[in-house]
Chains A and B, each alone.
Chain A
């Protein structure tokens, strides 16, 4: 509760320096987070904050712990030690199902479910109307009339955008992206980048994991640099 009050007051007490600093509204705060998996330390005392709004990129080499960090945000993984705070509240104390509807996630490889595009969208929102589904497809840079298409027969880029639409239909406050363009062509990647930037402009907080420096330069408002499981720097990326 104390942390929540501090975040609401736009102040954050850095656990390392002990300095109470003024921050914009925080979406996530990571406090000395360590994750050990199969005898390997994926995160090693990671400490950083992610402000609400805009696009925050998590940038680092392969194996640095980027995906693990992302999976902590919606509790697909839990820390071995340390805390992850969502809007000032420890995610360990939140209902994971509710958290995951507030914090949507797109994975590195497209994961369309067997069935039509509409069935994929209804897996996320069983109550969704055709109008809502058409609108969300268009938000993900897809053709709205594709509802009857077989989702597993789409190209990689199209499938990734269906997955993006499937995540967006739950109206999340935060969008986690785990290198969603790493396995698709440049044109499809550009469509996804633009679609995500549109969401960020609309007020959604985006956390985008990438190891592509050019892409980070294009999309990010700020960059969390990660290496060997630790946050090595937090930069602004003013080019956008």
Chain B
């Protein structure tokens, strides 16, 4: 292995997983097996991805393989979002649409405007960071919007009863959901460099790239994540509005709620 971490180093780092297991046992958290399983699973997944990326990034390999990889990643991310937000109606297709929209915009800007050179080595990792980092916000926006519309059903229906179209009636709740989903990413962006050093930058520095170049790459990645998060959350929220209201501007029943009527 030519990288800064050897196989022995990897095995040694498992001591840190052991620390987590020991904490779980000490405080009777009952999470020991879960921690061990999560670490083992992550390691296997990363090794498999590493092998696959190795094949993908072989010089001369067609870029179409990278686009196919990204398409598969977006579809899988949709399924992950569905499992994280089971109460959101048809979350998978909404999430896929939102990640696809974000991919078009962010990859379009990043590569179309030649911020980064377009090749497999940049395309796949950048797309991965875009999808991975906007996942939490996407799920949060969808769940928050469904919660808002369900918990404030009386208020929403009062707006509809005034003759407001469903999109207008939903506006305050969409705004609340988007603010709530975007705020953590904005806070993270503000704290970057002061409170924590981001993964991409850290990885580049460890790999021997000069800190200034690492910072430039990290800044691009950070802005890309911010743009992607804004895109995925707004697409998922507006898509959800179309789905939770009927074409004749009625709020459909939403899971885990609803009062009996007299």
Contact = CB atoms under 8 A, between A and B. Distances in A.
Interface of A: 38, 42, 62-68, 71, 74-78, 96-98, 100-101, 104-105, 107, 109, 111, 113-114, 123-124, 163, 166-167, 170, 179, 209, 211
Please name the 8 residue pairs, one residue from A and one from B, whose CB atoms are nearest each other, closest first.
A101-B163, A111-B158, A67-B261, A105-B161, A100-B163, A124-B162, A67-B262, A96-B248
A124 B163 CA distance: 8
25 contacts: A64-B262, A67-B261, A67-B262, A68-B261, A74-B161, A75-B250, A76-B160, A76-B250, A77-B250, A78-B248, A78-B250, A96-B249, A100-B163, A101-B162, A101-B163, A104-B161, A107-B154, A107-B158, A109-B154, A111-B154, A113-B159, A124-B162, A167-B162, A209-B262, A211-B262
B158 A100 contact: no
Interface string B155-190: 101111111110000001000000000000000000
Contacts of A77: 250
Nearest to B155: A111
Contacts of B160: 76, 100
Contacts of B159: 113, 123
A98 B249 CA distance: 11
Nearest to A77: B250
Given A96-B248, A107-B154, A76 B161 contact: yes
Interface size class of chain B, counting residues whose CB lies under 8 Å from the partner chain: 20 to 34
Contacts of B262: 62-68, 179, 209, 211
Contacts of A166: 162
A123 B248 contact: no
A38 B255 CA distance: 12
Contacts, number: 69
Interface in B231-262: 248-250, 253, 258, 260-262
Interface string B1-36: 000000000000000000000000000000000000
A38 B254 CA distance: 12
A237 to B, nearest CB: 20
Contacts of A109: 154
B163 A170 contact: yes
Given A76-B157, A211-B262, A114 B172 contact: yes
Q: Of residues B159, B165, B253, B260, which shows the largest number of chain A Cβ atoms within 10 Å of its Cβ?
A: B260
Nearest to B152: A111
A42 B258 CA distance: 14
A63 B162 contact: no
Q: Of residues A100, A166, A179, which shows the largest number of chain B Cβ atoms within 10 Å of its Cβ?
A: A100
Contact of A63 (B154, B163, B260): B260
A96 B158 CA distance: 14
Contacts of B163: 97-98, 100-101, 124, 170
Contacts of B261: 42, 67-68, 71
